Structure 1
Amino acid sequence: MNPRTLTPSMSLLLAFEAAARHESYTRAAHELSLTQSAVSRQVQILEKMLGMRLFSREGRRVILTDVGRMYQRELSEALGQIRSATLQAMAFGSGIHSLRLATLPTFGSKWLLPRLKDFYTAHPGMTVHLHSRIEAIDFDTSEIDAAICVGGGDWPGLTAHRLHTEELVVIASAQLSDAERLAANKDIAGQLLLNVSSNAQAWSEWFSHHALPHRSMRIGPSFEMTSHLIQAVRANIGIGLVPRILVEDELHSRELVQLGEPISSRRSYYLVYPARNESLASLKAFRDWLVQTL
C-alpha cells in the first residue's frame, strides 16, 4: 500500500477531526476559520484516499459511520499527542515551563489559589494556567494537561494520583441563635438539606452512616457549585454537607458553624492526566508539590 495513503495531510485530518467532534461541517468550519464547502471538500478527499465513507447524511445533518467513529477516536488521541509534543518543544525552547490545569471551581478558589504562591516560590519560572471545570475532561480534544478531580478512583486510560480522602461536614449559618443551633445539632435530619448536584448522594451517605431512615430527609435546593451552596447556608436557607477542606476558613472564623461530627466520604481528590504528559517538567513539579501539600 502506498505510504501516502496511510499518512493523510494534517489539513485533511484536522478537518475530519473537527467535523467528527461536532458532527457538523458548519461548526467545524467556524472552528477552523474555513468555509463549510472547504471542510466538506477535505472530508471527501480523505474518504476517497481511504476508500470508505466516514460520514452519512441524514437530511442536513452529517452522522459518523461506525468506521468514522473508530477513526475519530484513534485520531483524536494521536492529535493530542502531537499537540502535547509541540507544546513541550516550545516550552523547552523558550525556557518557560507552563501547566494548563483544570480544577473544580470551589477547590481551586478555596484551597489551591491561597497556596499556589508557595509553588511559585519553590519553582520560579513555572506557570500554572487554571481552568475551572465541573464536567469530565476530554484530554484528546481540550488543551488541558492535567486535572484535579473528585471521585471513586475510576479514571480509565488516565494516570491518577490520589491526593486526599474527602471528609464531609455538616455546616449551618452563624445567624442561628444558641437555642436554634442546639436544636439543629440534636435534629440534623429535621433541617432543610441543601446539596450539590454533582454529589447528590452525599446526604444519603450521611443518613446511612447514622442509621437514619432516608424517608425522613427534607431535601432542599441543589446547586451546581459548592461555593453557591456555602453562600446559601451562610444566608440561613438550610444546612449543607460539604468537604471540610473547602470550609476550614469559615469554620475557623465562625462565619459558619459545624453540626455533629465529620464523616469520611466514598470519594477522594485525584490529580489525573494522560500518560503522554508524564514527561512534562511542569507537571512533575506540580504533582510532587501537590502530593506533599495535601
Structure 2
Amino acid sequence: MNPRRLTPSMSVLVAFEAAARHGSFTKAAEELALTQSAVSRQVQALESLLEVPLFSRDGRHIELTAAGALYHHELAAALARIRNATLQTIAHKAGGGPLHLAVLPTFGSKWLLPRMHDFYASHPGTLVHIHSRIVTSDLSKDTADMHAIICAGTGHWPGYEAHRLLSEKLTVVASPKALPEYGSMSVGDVAQQLLLNVVSRPDAWPEWFEQNGLQQRTMRMGPGFELTAHLIQAVVAGIGIGLVPRILVQDEIQSGELVALFEPVDSGRSYYLAYPSRYQHLPSLQAFSRWLLSIPFPDS
C-alpha cells in the first residue's frame, strides 16, 4: 500500500479532527482561521485518499459515519500527544517544561502530595502533573506516556534509571474499636480474622503466613480492593484486618484509628523513582529528582 495513503498530511487531519469535534465545517473553519469551503475541501481530500466516507452530509448538516467516528477517536488522541510533545519541546528549549509523573495512588495521596508544597516553594516555575498508576513489572507498557514514575519493585528495569527511596515493610493493622483484644493477640490468632487484601498483590497474605509458620489453608480471605487506600478505610471501619506498607498507615497509627499488631516484615521490594534514560537531562525531572532524593526517608 502507498505509504502516503497511511500518512495523510497534517493539514487535512487537523481539518477533519476539528470538523468532527464541532460537528460543523463552519465552526471548524472559525477555529482554524480558514473558510468553510477550505475545510470542506480538506475533508473531501482525506476521504478521497482513504476511499472511505467519514461524514454523511445532508445539506449543511454533517454527521460522522461509523468509520469516521472510529477514525476521529484514534486521531484525536494522536494529535493531542503531538501537540503535547511540541509544547514540551518548546518549553524544554526555554529551560522549563512540565514533568508528567506516575505515582502509586495511595503513596501519592498519603505521602507525596502532602509534601509537594515544599517542592513548589523551592521550584515555583516547575509544574509536576501527577498521574495515578498501578503498574506491573513492565514500566514501558504501563507508563509509556510518562517522564518518570514512583513505584515499588526490585529496581531492575532495562532502559530506566532507578533511584531507591526506601524499603517496603508490611505491617498487620487492625481497628482497636473492632478488635479490642488486639493487645493479647498472637501470630496464630490472625488465622481467625477476616483478611483484607489488595487485588494486585494476591501473594501478600500467603507469604506472611509462610514466614510465620502458619498453614495457608487456615486463611480466611476477605474482600479485595484495587487501591490500598480503600483497604485502609475498610480496616478502619472494622471490616477485617489488613497487611499494608507501614509508610502508608503512619498517620492512622499515630491518631489511634489503627494499631499495628506485630513488628513489620520486609516485603523484599523497595520504592523507587524511575525514569527512561532518554529523559535524564529533562530540567523538570532533574529538579524533582534532586528534591525527592534529598528527603531523609525512614527505612522502615
CA–CA separation in structure 2 for the residues paired with 1:42 and 1:266: 55
Which residue number corresponds to residue 225 of structure 2? 223
**Cα pair 2:161 2:274 within 8 Å, conserved:** yes
Shift of 1:128: 1.3
CA distance 1:162–1:177, shift in 2 (3 Å): closer
**Cα pair 2:8 2:46 within 8 Å, conserved:** no
CA–CA separation in structure 2 for the residues paired with 1:188 and 1:44: 69
Q: Please, what TM-score do these two structures have when normalized by structure 2?
A: 0.68
How many residue pairs were aligned?
A: 255
| 1:6-17 mapped onto 2 (5 Å cutoff) | none
**Cα pair 1:102 1:130 within 8 Å, conserved:** yes
Which residue number corresponds to residue 106 of structure 1? 106
**Cα pair 2:102 2:143 within 8 Å, conserved:** no
Which residue number corresponds to residue 121 of structure 2? 121
**Cα pair 1:161 1:271 within 8 Å, conserved:** yes
Shift of 1:246: 0.3
Q: Single out whichever of 184-193 and 221-230 deviates more from structure 2.
A: 184-193
CA–CA separation in structure 2 for the residues paired with 1:180 and 1:251: 14
Secondary structure at the residue paired with 2:200? helix
CA–CA separation in structure 2 for the residues paired with 1:182 and 1:119: 43
Shift of 1:150: 1.7
Per-residue deviation, residues 241-282 of structure 1 (Å, max 9, x unmatched):
000010011111111000111000122212222222111111
Letter in 1 for 2:123: H
Per-residue deviation, residues 19-69 of structure 1 (Å, max 9, x unmatched):
xxxxxxxxx979x8599xx99x869969xxxxxxxxxxxxx99xxxxxxxx
CA distance 1:126–1:202, shift in 2 (3 Å): same
Shift of 1:122: 2.5
Shift of 1:87: 0.5
Q: Where in structure 1 are there 5+ consecutive unaligned residues? A: 15-27, 47-59, 62-75
Letter in 1 for 2:175: S
Which residue number corresponds to residue 268 of structure 1? 270
Secondary structure at the residue paired with 2:98? strand
1:258 aligns with 2:222: no
RMSD: 4.2
**Cα pair 2:176 2:182 within 8 Å, conserved:** no
Q: Percent identity?
A: 50
Shift of 1:219: 1.0
Shift of 1:288: 1.8
Which residue number corresponds to residue 151 of structure 2? 149
**Cα pair 1:166 1:268 within 8 Å, conserved:** yes
2:201 maps to which of 191, 194, 199: 199
CA distance 1:34–1:288, shift in 2 (3 Å): same
CA distance 1:44–1:138, shift in 2 (3 Å): farther
Q: Please, what TM-score do these two structures have when normalized by structure 1?
A: 0.69
Secondary structure at the residue paired with 1:148? strand
Q: Single out whichever of 243-252 and 144-153 deviates more from structure 2.
A: 144-153
Secondary structure at the residue paired with 1:279? coil
CA–CA separation in structure 2 for the residues paired with 1:107 and 1:171: 17
Letter in 2 for 1:277: Y
CA distance 1:281–1:81, shift in 2 (3 Å): farther
Secondary structure at the residue paired with 1:261? coil
Per-residue deviation, residues 204-227 of structure 1 (Å, max 9, x unmatched):
221121122211111111100001
2:169 maps to which of 159, 167, 170: 167
Secondary structure at the residue paired with 2:261? strand
CA distance 1:81–1:146, shift in 2 (3 Å): farther
**Cα pair 1:88 1:280 within 8 Å, conserved:** no
